[in-house]
Amino acid sequence: MKKVHIKSYGCQMNVYDGQRMADVLGAEGFEETATPDDADLILLNTCHIRERAAHKVYTELGKLRELKQARKADGRETTLVVAGCVAQAEGAEIQRRQPAVDLVVGPQAYHRLPALLAEARASRVVDTDLPPDDKFGHLPAPKPAAILARGISAFVTVQEGCDKFCAFCVVPYTRGAEFSRPVAQVVAEVERLAEAGVQDVTLLGQNVNAYHGEGQDGRIWGLARLMHRLAEVPGIARIRYTTSHPRDMDDDLIAAHRDLPQVMPFLHLPVQAGSDRILAAMNRKHTGDEYRRLIDKVRAARPDIALSSDFIVGFPGESDHDFEETLRLVEDVRFASAYTFKYSPRPGTPAAELETQVEPAVMDERLQRLQALVERHRQEFNHAMVGRTVEVLLERAGRHPGQLAGKTPYLQAVQIETATHRIGERVMVTIERAGSNSLFGRAVPRELAA
**What is the number of alpha carbons within 13 Å of residue 169 lying toward its C-beta?**
21
Interacting residue with ligand SAH among 22, 39, 49, 307 (CB under 6 A): 49
Judged by CB under 6 A, which stretch of 153-161, 168-176, 250-258, 321-329 contacts ligand SAH?
A: 168-176
The stretch near ligand SAH (CB under 6 A) out of 23-31, 163-171, 231-239, 377-385 is 163-171
Cβ proximity to ligand SAH, 50 vs 181, nearer residue: 50
Q: What is the CA radius of gyration of the chain?
A: 23
Q: Which stretch binds ligand SF4 (CB under 6 A): 8-16, 67-75, 167-175, 228-236?
A: 167-175
Closer by beta carbon to ligand SF4, 10 or else 409: 10
CA 34 to chain centre: 21
CA 13 to chain centre: 5
Cα(47)–Cα(75) distance, rounded to whole angstroms?
Answer: 32
Q: How far is the CB of 395 from ligand SAH (least distance, A)?
A: 24
Among 30, 39, 44, 48, binds ligand F3S (CB under 6 A): 48
Q: Do 285 and 247 touch, CB atoms closer than 8 A?
A: yes
Does the footprint of ligand F3S cover residue 10 (CB under 6 A)? yes
Binding mask 131-170 for ligand F3S (x = CB under 6 A): ---------------------------------------x
Which residue's C-beta sits nearest to ligand F3S? 10
> How far, in Å, CA of 245 to CA of 210, rounded?
8
- What does DSSP assign to residue 272? B
111 within 8 A of 133, measured Cβ to Cβ: yes
- Rounded CA-CA distance 48/150 in Å is 25
Residue of 8, 6, 43 whose CA lies nearest to 120: 43
Distances (CA, A) of 110 to 85, 87, 88, 236, 287: 12, 12, 12, 28, 38
Give the 3-state secondary structure of residue 266. strand
Beta bridge partners of 159: 180
- The nearer residue to ligand F3S, 207 or 415, going by C-beta atoms, is 207
Q: Is 85 part of any known ligand binding site?
A: yes
Q: Does 11 bind ligand F3S (CB under 6 A)?
A: yes
Q: Which stretch in 157-165, 313-321, 360-368, 377-385 sits in contact with ligand SF4 by CB under 6 A?
A: 157-165
> Cβ(203)–Cβ(158) under 8 Å?
yes
Among 166, 249, 373, 414, binds ligand SF4 (CB under 6 A): 166
| CA quadruple 147, 153, 159, 165: dihedral sign | negative
Backbone angles phi, psi at 240, to 5 degrees: -130, 170
Q: Which residues pair with 47 in a beta bridge?
A: none
Q: Is the N-terminal amide bond of 287 cis, ω within 30° of 0?
A: no
Among residues 175, 181, 245, 257, which is the contact residue for ligand SAH, using CB under 6 A? 245
**Site string (83-112) toward ligand F3S, x via CB under 6 A:** -xx---------------------------
244 binds ligand F3S (CB under 6 A): no
Among 95, 243, 275, 337, which residue interacts with ligand SAH (rule: CB under 6 A)? 243
Q: Is 408 assigned to a binding site?
A: no
Is 215 in contact with 225 (CB distance < 8 Å)?
A: yes
- Choose, by CB under 6 A, the member of 171, 281, 306, 394 that binds ligand SAH: 171
Residues near ligand SF4 (CB under 6 A): 162, 164-166, 169, 171-172, 206-207, 245
Binding-site ranges for ligand F3S (CB under 6 A): 10-11, 13-14, 47-49, 84-85, 170-171, 174-175, 206
Binding site for ligand SAH (CB under 6 A): 49-50, 168-169, 171, 206-207, 243, 245, 270, 272, 310, 312, 341, 343-344, 346
